Structure 1
Amino acid sequence: MVTSLVFFGAGGLLALLIRAQLATPDEHFITRNAYNELFTIHGTTMIFLFIVPFWAGLANFVVPLMIGARDMAFPRLNAASYWFFLFGGAGMFLSFFASGGAAKAGWYSYPPLSEKFYSPGTGQDIWILSLHLVAISSVLGAINFLCTIHNMRAAGMSWMRIPLFVWAVEIYSILLLLAIPVISTALTFLLLDRQVGTHFFDPSNGGSAVLYQHLFWFFGHPEVYIIILPAMGVLSEVIPVFSRKPIFGYKAIAFSTVAIGFYSMLVWAHHMFSVGLPNFLNVFFMLSSMVIAVPTGVKIFNWIATTWRGNLILDTPMLWALGFLCVFTIGGLSGIFLAAFPVDWQVTDTYYVVAHMHYVMFGGGVFGVFAALFYWWPKIFGRLLDERLGKMQFWLVFIGFNLTFFPQHMLGLMGMPRRNFTYSHHGLWETYNLMSSIGSGIMAIGFLVFAANVVKTSRSGPRAGNDPWIADTLEWYTTSPPPEHNFDRVPYVTSARPLRDLRRRLAQADAVG
């Protein structure tokens, strides 16, 4: 988890360099090649080295506690998974020093741009091998989570009594096992094309560049929900605690998690509307993409219903959860437009897509990450983070995020293509790009505030106690931080809110006594 946050900082620095280059027209702050390397490694870092492994790191700590287990099923497999991830990430950044520099073909590296003729350096090969190591890490972690959740739950904890975050990790793990082999196959074929002379993706020799896109996005769209589902699981834990109400529609949220996982495997080609698929396929993927909004909407309305007439406590975890609801909904609405292929044809490969992607991936993933950090930090480290600094960080990031990415919708509608390393004076392009760059600086200040918060509270933060939030799940039953064996004894689970049940039994016993 800590390592993924370090990669988040590194990816954020790359993003600041990108926004510095685009702040004004005809800028040459960095070279064309350097710009291509920056946006390639930035995207790869944020998706493969930050958000996905962060959820794995958090779940390694939280899931055994939430289900009443002593540890993960295979602790040594956990350790192996971490080292594969670390070496893969280190290789990715060391590729900047390779012959020809780092990979330059974008985070999804479509051929022919990623083939040897157009990307002759070794950076692209290192990128492929690094992702293979990260993929192995993800598969090992997913196997461990599934074995732990299926076999190590506390007595009485049936499937309808497990916490909703654990439901999210369950589907997250299944999606990883289904999707990772497909992207690994695509990357292996690409490496063979580059190094052995095969022609899997070379149309001039009987291959198909579109095949790579199918393989990549068959992984890539489930990857969106691999990122988002754990964040949704976090909201399902945070919102009821800070609304002082039980979650509205536990079963609906659990089953919608399963439905999202299922539908996420059926919509990959909506990323490919512009490649010339037959219209009946375009219609199928358009409709299936709109259907997936239904279980997502079920979650959002259930979260809103949970807050309705609740005793809202606007501590920092709740602010991040409510921020998620706002920005992710905007990203979902722009996604509905992109799911309509006539609209997609007009805005594909423009900044409209960049804005949509960041509202979903950053607005969903990163806001969920910080909701989780502020919520479980006391359990992990035994100290509370500073609320004043936490709220300051939230508002800086929330304002900076919207200032950065909302104007990019307009840039896309005005026709500004993504991935251009510079641009000429063109209407309001200059104004909107400057707004985006200023917003990115505001966000960076927000994340520096978080770093200051961590440093300050690690030395002098107030002790958390076992259950500072008056929560309902088992992780708050043990000490903060928990002992190596997690629990001295695990209570019998009688509902999805075992700690509330225990408090009631103790209160009744005191009343009788």
Structure 2
Amino acid sequence: MVDVIREPVAPVPPLEVPDVDLYHPKSWLTTWVFSQDAKVIAVQYAGTALAIGFVALVLSWMMRLQLAFPDDFSFIDANGYYQFITMHGMIMVIYLLTALFLGGFGNYLIPLMLGARDMVFPYVNMLSYWIYLLAVLVLVAGFFAPGGPTGAGWTLYPPQAILSGTPGGRDWGILLMLGSLILFIIGFTMGGLNYVVTVLQGRARGMTLMRMPLTVWGIFTATVMALLAFPALFVACVMMLIDRLLGTSFFMPALVEMGEQLKYGGGSPILFQHLFWFFGHPEVYIVALPAFGIVSDLISTHARKNIFGYRMMVWAIVGIGALSFVVWAHHMYVSGMNPYFGFFFATTTLIIAIPTAIKVYNWVLTLWRGDIHLTPPMLFAIAFIVTFVNGGLTGLFLGNVVVDVPLSDTMFVVAHFHMVMGVAPIFVVFGAIYHWYPKITGRML
């Protein structure tokens, strides 16, 4: 045999792959400013929402410290207290929870859970975040405006909201609040249409509606509700803005302030309440339904068991969403409405407890004889159930007209609202972050 002498082969240099995104060279601008990637936009939404939520948290701390130690925290006067509570409530309900559940978790989870490449309209998705950020900046500008932010309460009831006796009523405070809400609604409408179209048209082959994770069902139903409810708030904000700037009287009746006859007359403050609460009560479930869906998936995953009664859970979500549009006036029992009108809304309010109870029982039955792992996400999910049930039981009292009238504007209502709308959804936020943090960052928490 002849020995073949082989020449040494030079090592082949590794293939250099340029750092590019899908369609363009990758840079800081394309990643964090002009990115159309739903996952990046989700992180932007979540980061902004958590940042402004921390501001609301600090405001709540300061209010409680002032109540506990009035001598040491006397720098918060009566006007400042109203301003703090207004900004705290509006930030937590709109700019934190709504934006975080729909803009943050919705953007990240919908494409991944449905097998979609991305959102159907990525450019519109990008614009929706930047309009949301602009709305947050306009809101925060109220802290630095002459007179400070508005102190009309988070419900912004007229005529109080735009009178000179209210902090920020005749200054920039109410204008910045209304302008910020209008911007938020515009941005959310762009993002919300994107979510709905992606769920209906962007699913992978074989991913039927009745195979979607309950997280997606919750976000999808909440988005449809928001697209139907937010226009009422948008119209109310525009009409109040015109009342404040142009002197119209959509919501302003004839008034005498400090002995002076004001130029308003013929308006109806009750009309604003109907518009606000037609948005306001669905808003409770716009926050709660994504939380319901996430809790369902957390319990199913960490109990190592399929969710009990999947189809029943889906129809419960849809039923809650539909019923939430016919209960809004239970917030207005003390507004002078006809008692028969109140009876109708009390009835629909108590009926909505049925699909809610179905969900609670199905969560408990999912845990029954499951291989439960008490991980942090599971603990937060269980804490959500306990807190939400406690808050829901107080709602049974407030849904009754006879009981609600003496309890209206008391700490009983504050406790109900914060258990259902405050603490319980925040538990879900913590659980979801623990659960999906490794997926989002590639690192264990």
User: TM-score, with normalisation over the residues of structure 2?
Assistant: 0.85
Q: Does 1:78 align with 2:128?
A: no
Residue in 1 that maps onto 2:83: 37
Secondary structure of 2:322's counterpart equals helix
Of 42, 53, 58, the match for 1:8: 53
Q: CA RMSD in A?
A: 1.1
Structure 1 letter corresponding to 2:49: S
Q: Does 1:88 align with 2:135?
A: yes
Q: Does 1:128 align with 2:171?
A: no
**Using the alignment, how far apart are the partners of 1:15 and 1:358 within structure 2?**
12
Secondary structure of 2:267's counterpart equals coil
Q: Does 1:278 align with 2:338?
A: yes
Q: Does 1:379 align with 2:439?
A: yes
Of 20, 38, 46, the match for 2:65: 20
1:25 deviates by 5.8
Residue in 1 that maps onto 2:7: none
**Using the alignment, how far apart are the partners of 1:206 and 1:282 within structure 2?**
25
Q: Does 1:48 align with 2:94?
A: yes
1:126 deviates by 0.5
Residue in 2 that maps onto 1:214: 274
Q: Does 1:106 align with 2:166?
A: no
8 Å contact from structure 1 (residues 43, 107) kept in 2: yes
**Using the alignment, how far apart are the partners of 1:94 and 1:117 within structure 2?**
20
**Using the alignment, how far apart are the partners of 1:29 and 1:308 within structure 2?**
53
1:280-295 to structure 2, matched below 5 A, reads 280-295=340-355
Residue in 2 that maps onto 1:193: 243
User: TM-score, with normalisation over the residues of structure 1?
Assistant: 0.74
8 Å contact from structure 1 (residues 18, 35) kept in 2: yes
Structure 2 letter corresponding to 1:175: M
1:101 deviates by 1.0
Structure 1 letter corresponding to 2:84: L
**Using the alignment, how far apart are the partners of 1:48 and 1:149 within structure 2?**
23
Structure 1 letter corresponding to 2:62: L
Structure 2 letter corresponding to 1:120: R
Q: Percent identity?
A: 43
Structure 2 letter corresponding to 1:360: V
**Using the alignment, how far apart are the partners of 1:117 and 1:37 within structure 2?**
14
1:382 deviates by 1.0
**Using the alignment, how far apart are the partners of 2:220 and 2:174 within structure 1?**
33
8 Å contact from structure 1 (residues 20, 29) kept in 2: no
1:117 deviates by 3.8
8 Å contact from structure 1 (residues 236, 303) kept in 2: yes
Residue in 2 that maps onto 1:172: 222
Q: Does 1:68 align with 2:105?
A: no
1:33-432 to structure 2, matched below 5 A, reads 33-55=79-101, 56-118=103-165, 119-204=169-254, 205-385=265-445
**Using the alignment, how far apart are the partners of 2:341 and 2:274 within structure 1?**
13
**Using the alignment, how far apart are the partners of 1:137 and 1:233 within structure 2?**
24
1:181 deviates by 0.6
- The C-alpha deviation readout for 1:455-507, integer Å capped at 9, x for no partner, is xxxxxxxxxxxxxxxxxxxxxxxxxxxxxxxxxxxxxxxxxxxxxxxxxxxxx
1:276 deviates by 1.0
- The C-alpha deviation readout for 1:73-131, integer Å capped at 9, x for no partner, is 11111111111111111111111111211111011110111124441111111100011
Structure 2 letter corresponding to 1:42: H
Secondary structure of 2:210's counterpart equals coil
**Using the alignment, how far apart are the partners of 1:134 and 1:101 within structure 2?**
20
Any gaps of 5 or more consecutive residues in structure 2? 1-45, 255-264
- The C-alpha deviation readout for 1:342-382, integer Å capped at 9, x for no partner, is 11111111111111110001132111111111111111111
**Using the alignment, how far apart are the partners of 1:349 and 1:112 within structure 2?**
18
**Using the alignment, how far apart are the partners of 1:24 and 1:286 within structure 2?**
40
Residue in 2 that maps onto 1:469: none
1:10 deviates by 1.0
- The C-alpha deviation readout for 1:11-66, integer Å capped at 9, x for no partner, is 10111111111114676241112111111111111111101000121110111000
**Using the alignment, how far apart are the partners of 2:173 and 2:291 within structure 1?**
32
220-229 or 200-209: bigger deviation: 200-209
Any gaps of 5 or more consecutive residues in structure 1? 386-513
**Using the alignment, how far apart are the partners of 2:157 and 2:416 within structure 1?**
20
Secondary structure of 2:209's counterpart equals coil
Structure 2 letter corresponding to 1:23: A
Higher relative contact order (CA 8 A, sep 6+): 1
8 Å contact from structure 1 (residues 172, 225) kept in 2: yes
Structure 2 letter corresponding to 1:5: L
Secondary structure of 2:325's counterpart equals coil
Structure 1 letter corresponding to 2:295: L
**Using the alignment, how far apart are the partners of 1:94 and 1:367 within structure 2?**
29
**Using the alignment, how far apart are the partners of 1:51 and 1:305 within structure 2?**
28
Structure 1 letter corresponding to 2:99: P
**Using the alignment, how far apart are the partners of 2:335 and 2:163 within structure 1?**
22
**Using the alignment, how far apart are the partners of 2:217 and 2:186 within structure 1?**
23
Secondary structure of 2:326's counterpart equals coil
Structure 2 letter corresponding to 1:254: V
